[in-house]
Structure 1
Amino acid sequence: MNEAVLARMLQVLTPDIVASLRRAVELGKWPDGRRLTREQVETCLQAVIAWETKHLPEQERSGYIEKEEKEGEVCDDPAVVAEQQVKFLH
């Protein structure tokens, strides 16, 4: 989707329209029961993501996963992982 089309689309999208597009993608069909094509799914997802990026904080966007480090939890940082020791128990 080119930037001009995206900009025009963002001007007309409302929270209700975005919710409807999100629901269509979740179900894989339009409210009248017709299945979404692959292209329609991609276009709907692009619209939802673009709208959410512009209007919602990160933690309220679709697909957001909150990651909290807990004490004793393994870290994904390669520098920290390289320093961990492994113990073998017999």
Structure 2
Amino acid sequence: MNVEQLLNAMTPEVYERLNYAIETGRWLDGTPITKEQRDSCMQAVMLYQSKHNHEAQHMSVAAGGEVAFKSKAELKKQFSDNEADILRVKVED
């Protein structure tokens, strides 16, 4: 399978499953992934991001294959813009 075939076959659901496996070191059923599987998953995720990631996060692969970096100021602004979405709970002793 060539790169274009792989990208055309990958759905957003497959991307999310591969990303989960990379982040947790386990498949959805709890089975650990091997180093070789992790490496292959990471390559597939990066390829998928290079084609579909139009809102790249800090240090991710953006659409077009470029690695996207956000400065500390950009990240602070992004998080402060979304601060209204955060539910704050006061815990009393």
Settle same-fold status: TM greater than 0.5.
Answer: yes
Higher relative contact order (CA closer than 8 Å, sequence separation 6+)? 1
Per the normalisation by structure 2, the TM-score is: 0.60
- Give 1:56 deviation, angstroms: 1.3
Cα distance in 2 between the residues matched to 1:58 and 1:39: 29
1:17 paired to 2:14: yes
Structure 1 position 68, deviation (Å) = 5.2
TM-score by length of 1: 0.62
Instruction: Rate the CA distance shift 1:61–1:48 in 2: closer, same or farther, 3 A.
Output: farther
Give the % identical residues: 30
**Where in structure 2 are there 5+ consecutive unaligned residues?**
61-67, 74-93
1:17-71: CA deviation from partner (whole Å, max 9, x where unpaired): 10111011111011111111111001101111101111112624874541156xx
Equivalence for 1:37: 34
CA distance in 2 between partners of 1:50 and 1:12 (Å): 12
Q: Which has the larger radius of gyration?
A: 1
RMSD of aligned alpha carbons: 2.3
Aligned residues between the structures: 66
Instruction: Answer 1 or 2: which has greater strand percent.
Output: 2
